[in-house]
Every structure is written in C-alpha cells, then in structure tokens.
Amino acid sequence: MALLKIARMGHPILMKPAEYIEDPTDPALAQLAVDMFETMFDAPGVGLAGPQVHVSRRIVVYYIPEDRGDDPEPDAFPPTVLINPVLEPLDTVSQGSTSVMREACLSLPGMSGLVRRHKRIGLTAQNLQGQTIERELDGFHARIVQHECDHLDGIVYPMRMDDLSSFGYDSERPELSEDEE
Ligand code: NI
C-alpha cells in the first residue's frame, strides 16, 4: 500500500494519451489499482486515472459514495477498476442528451467548473481478471466515468467547458450552488 503523488494540471503526463494495457491480469497492475484506491480515498476524491498518478496507462478507479448519488442515478456504486475503457454516447447530440454540472478534479485541487457531458453512455472495459465489462450508465455515474476516461486521452475538464466564467477556486465562491439543467 502506498500513497501516490498526484500530477496537477500543467504536468505533461496529463496532456498525452495513455497506453493501452496488454495484460489486465498483470499482478503489478492489481497493486497499482490498490495504491490508486488508497490515494483516491486519502485525497479524498471519487475517481482517479493512471496519468494522474504519473502512470500513462489506460486504467481508471472510481466509486460513487452514498451522499453523491445525484438523480437520476441515486445509488451508491462500489469501488471499481476499469482497464482500457471505451465509451459511446447512447443518444445523438440533441437537446436533452447532455447535462451541465459542476466538476472538480484531484489534478486541480480547490477548483471547479461547469462541464457539459452526455447523460447516457455505453461502457466497455476489462477488469483485473481480464473479463469484459459492458454497461449502460447514466446520471452522475456516466459523468464520473466520462471525466476519468478523458484523463486517458489527455483531456482535463476545463478543456470541456463551454464557458470559463464558472471556473475558479471554490474558496472564493461562497455561494457554491448545484447548478444547471
Ligand atoms: Ni480528474
């Protein structure tokens, strides 16, 4: 078990695509996942991607705590590892297929901003046993997985923002509201 150093926005490792993982059952990968969970819970955060801990490989860990189960996905979700995740929007981009919510990221500590995401996505990934996971996700669950998978493609959430006026330090925003749509 080890706490890993978290890369902050500006570090080149956050800006480049991460490498495909050939062997999801590699024991070293299982140990990395354990360390990523420990680092995520310590931070604390709800998701972490390989590049954020200076490992440019396609691995994501996340969970949904009970107090963050925003509608329309009210359920908590257990700690999960995704290897080589691939996402597909389940709706064509039209009115109502996306939503805007405030996001934060362990690579931009103390900051947040409003980000538009697909409401529903299809997820295909592998787990640490090498099995294929296929799921349909919506709500907060879909959002967090989109955020984490973006890290694997060198994308940090401010790069997804429509309007940077909502971006900034939480400590300077006394009336942080749960915004929008
Ligand atoms: Ni992030």
Q: How far apart are CA 46 and CA 68, in angstroms?
A: 9
Q: How many domains does the chain have?
A: 1
Check residue 108 and give its pLDDT.
98
Q: Three-state DSSP class for 53?
A: helix
User: How far, in Å, from the CA of 120 to the mean position of ligand 1?
Assistant: 19
Residue 32 domain-assigned? yes
How far does residue 49's CA lie from ligand 1's centre (Å)? 7
Distance CA 110, CA 170 (A): 6
- Residue (of 119, 101, 73, 85) closest to 160 by Cα position: 101
Helices (H), the chain: 27-42, 139-152
157 CA from centroid of ligand 1 (Å): 7
Q: What is the Å distance from ligand 1's center to 97 Cα?
A: 22
Question: pTM score, two decimals?
Answer: 0.91
- Identified catalytic residue from 88, 148, 175, 180: 148
In a domain, 180, yes or no: no
- Token pair of 90 as six digits: 């389940």
Provide the token pair at 27: 């024991």
Domain containing residue 47: 12-172
Task: Measure the CA–CA gap between 133 and 110, rounded to whole angstroms.
Answer: 33
- Output the domain CATH number for residue 134: 3.90.45.10
Q: Ligand 1 centre from 106 Cα, in Å?
A: 6
HEC assignment per residue over 115-132? EEEECEEEEEEECCCCCE
3 lies in some domain: no
DSSP 8-state class, residue 3: P
148 classed as catalytic:
yes
Kindly state whether residue 124 falls inside one of the protein's structural domains. Answer: yes
Tell me, in angstroms, the distance from the centre of ligand 1 to residue 122's CA.
20
Contact 50, 59 (CB under 8 A): yes
Interatomic CA distance for residues 15 and 125, integer angstroms: 22
Q: Output the tens digit of pLDDT for each of the chain's 181 residues.
A: 799 999 999 999 999 999 999 999 999 999 999 999 999 999 999 999 999 999 999 999 999 988 764 554 456 889 999 999 999 988 776 667 999 999 999 999 999 999 999 999 999 999 999 999 999 999 899 999 999 999 999 999 999 999 999 999 999 987 665 554 4
Confidence (pLDDT) at 80: 97
Residue 2 within a domain = no
Residues with CB under 5 A from ligand 1 (ion): 105
Has residue 73 been placed in a domain? yes
For residue 76, the model assigns a pLDDT of: 83
Whether 179 is in a domain gets the answer no
1's CB contacts (< 8 A; 6+ apart) are: 34, 35, 38
Tell whether 7 is covered by a domain. no
> What letter represents residue 39's amino acid?
T
